[in-house]
Amino acid sequence: MLVLVVIGVVASKNSAPKVQKVCGGCRRTMLPVWTKCLFCGWAPVARLEFILGPMANQTLNLTDEVTTIGSVAGNTVVLADPAVSRKHAGIRKVESNYELADLGSTNGVYVNGQKVPKKTLEAGDIIRVGNTEAVFKRE
């Protein structure tokens, strides 16, 4: 009995934010490491939550095969920012992953403070392009 109580306390401490991933397709519980449901193949819509820059407080669902970020019309996200190149960065859906790529920008693309030419995004990654920052979220 005492052992059970101790385990219970430890477990509740480790799972601090009580986020349980539930499949949006079959409603079964998904393990946190799954990027898609292994029962039915359902994958959560990924999104960018902008936290800094002209798009701050806005959310973009990454539903397209390719999402582009740049300073001119024709990009999915148009940022009126002199530090942003005409075609600055792109996010491409590759199966259940999202690949961020620098499209030859002048000032680079940063993820979690590091300049990257290309990166498979993970939930919680912070992307910076010019003066804009966005958090990549998957659930």
Binding footprint of Zn ion on the chain (CB under 5 A): 23, 25-26, 37, 39-40, 42
Q: Which is nearer to Zn ion, 40 or 66 (CB)?
A: 40
Shortest Å distance, C-beta 38 to Zn ion? 8
Q: Which is nearer to Zn ion, 37 or 91 (CB)?
A: 37
Q: Which is nearer to Zn ion, 39 or 110 (CB)?
A: 39
Q: Which is nearer to Zn ion, 8 or 32 (CB)?
A: 32
Shortest Å distance, C-beta 44 to Zn ion? 11
Q: Between β-strands 126-129 and 110-111, what pairing exists: parallel, antiparallel or unpaired?
A: antiparallel
Shortest Å distance, C-beta 121 to Zn ion? 22
34 closest CA partner among 92, 78, 96 = 96
Shortest Å distance, C-beta 39 to Zn ion? 4
